[in-house]
Structure 1
């Protein structure tokens, strides 16, 4: 666990959470992933240092505002940015084009899934802008997925509070664990929906 993160959140609390989440959502280089910020925030709630409603509010607002800005920028100027971006700007165009094709096939469901998937959730806002998905459609999705994502990680941090030393020891694998949990949950939802659909059809 980075000492800087501990000191920053401990000192500035909700403002630190807002800024860290916001900066990463708008694409600013950030060595500390938001998943780690939210897990640690949950741990701080477990210790009684921070309050759950305020952490959730700060993180959701930061995520929603940041992703809305990113979507707006690429909605109006995305094609120009990708064609004329300087070499130092960290935009993996090949990855974006692949995800763009995938989301184009899956429609709005692909945006929901992308916004909840670690590693690619930030790119999803970029792709939604490039696909010219209007704000009235994208922003409700952004708010819903931000609420789910923030609540999931903060709650995980609270539940992992008693085992925090083990969490720190395996911190590099946290994203993969959460991705596995999310994928398993999504698979269960899909299976239940299919069973329900077949039952109704009969």
Structure 2
């Protein structure tokens, strides 16, 4: 982290958006710890990591806009157990709750990255997306960078605590997928697109 500096921490967070296995829960507190040792400016760490979050989210938003609704529906139509009605239902939900989902999604592991793609597919206003992503990311990043800064040598305690949160989110997501599969196999129904 000392070698990377604040811009490197920001670049690592941008990559974390694109490759979720890179854990922000390690990068951010470590940046805070490095700042507490005087090897990095705290404000620079907060600014660069938030900028990195926004850059990564904008890249995934771009993927969503390139993918587009028609391609998404074409892909969904070829997937087993997925109905076009599922995509349409998700679209309606996102149109009602998109801004809240983008803002809160920035603070939920796994969804931090994924929420940008439907925002792009649905062509959410880019300024609105950027502002909500910036605010949500700033909150998330500040919590972890400042925790690492305050804990100093014990910065890894942050990673341990958030690991439980991340595992809980992962278990919930896995249960939701299992429930979807059980319901879909039990009641397959028609998969046609509604007019």
Calculate the TM-score normalised by the size of structure 1: 0.65
Alignment match of 2:63 (pick from 73, 87, 93): 73
1:60 alignment partner in structure 2: 50
Greater CA radius of gyration, 1 or 2?
Answer: 2
2:131 alignment partner in structure 1: 140
Q: Alpha-carbon deviation of 1:21? A: 0.9
What per-residue deviation string (whole Å, max 9, x for no partner) do you get for residues 107-140 of structure 1? Answer: 4222211122222111111121122212122111
In structure 2, stretches of 5+ residues that fail to align are 76-81, 169-195
Alignment match of 2:34 (pick from 24, 44, 49): 44
What per-residue deviation string (whole Å, max 9, x for no partner) do you get for residues 72-109 of structure 1? Answer: 2312324437856xxxxxxxx99xx6976654443422
Is residue 6–residue 44 contact of structure 2 (8 Å, CA) maintained in 1?
A: yes
- 1:122 alignment partner, SS class: helix
Structure 1 residue ranges (4+ consecutive) displaced by more than 2 angstroms after TM superposition: 29-32, 76-84, 97-107, 162-165, 171-180
Q: Distance in 2 between matches of 1:49 and 1:141?
A: 31
2:116 alignment partner in structure 1: 125
Is residue 117–residue 179 contact of structure 1 (8 Å, CA) maintained in 2?
A: no
Q: Distance in 2 between matches of 1:30 and 1:179?
A: 14
Is residue 118–residue 175 contact of structure 1 (8 Å, CA) maintained in 2?
A: no
How many pairs were matched up?
Answer: 159
Provide the aligned C-alpha RMSD in A: 3.3
Calculate the TM-score normalised by the size of structure 2: 0.67
Is residue 30–residue 155 contact of structure 2 (8 Å, CA) maintained in 1?
A: no
Is residue 102–residue 110 contact of structure 1 (8 Å, CA) maintained in 2?
A: no
- 2:134 alignment partner, SS class: helix
In structure 1, stretches of 5+ residues that fail to align are 1-8, 85-92, 181-202
